[in-house]
Amino acid sequence: MFFAWDSEQTYGLTAGIDPARARRLGSVVDVLRSGKAPIPRLWRALVEGDDFRLELADRVYRATHYDGPLEELRLLSRSGRG
């Protein structure tokens, strides 16, 4: 099971600070770009590699096109708007 607050802890957003301040720290993207926790450091190392970027692009494409789970019409139909 995954809870939203797990990600903030994983990315190092809440390390040693109160929850009110943690909400003001910024987006996960900001943390991935400059965070010092292990996950942001790992992300920055991975995106340096061409193979990783190509694999990530392929997975995003498969998920968002040609009946992938995140394809627009499927999302709309699941939300009751399509």
Q: Where are the domains of the chain?
A: 7-48, 49-82
Q: What is the pLDDT of residues 35-67, one digit of tens each?
A: 888 888 999 999 999 999 999 999 999 999 888
Q: What is the pLDDT of residue 11?
A: 60
Q: What is the pLDDT of residue 59?
A: 93
Which DSSP symbol is given to 22?
H
Residue pair 35/43 in contact by the 8 Å Cβ criterion: no
Q: Which has the minimum average pLDDT: 1-5, 18-22, 75-79? A: 1-5
State how far the Cα of 37 lies from the Cα of 19, in Å rounded to an integer.
17
Residue pair 6/22 in contact by the 8 Å Cβ criterion: no
Mean pLDDT confidence for 12-24: 58
14 CB-near residues (< 8 Å, 6+ apart): 5, 8, 22
Q: What is the pLDDT of residue 2?
A: 47
Look up tokens 């997975």; give the residue: 59
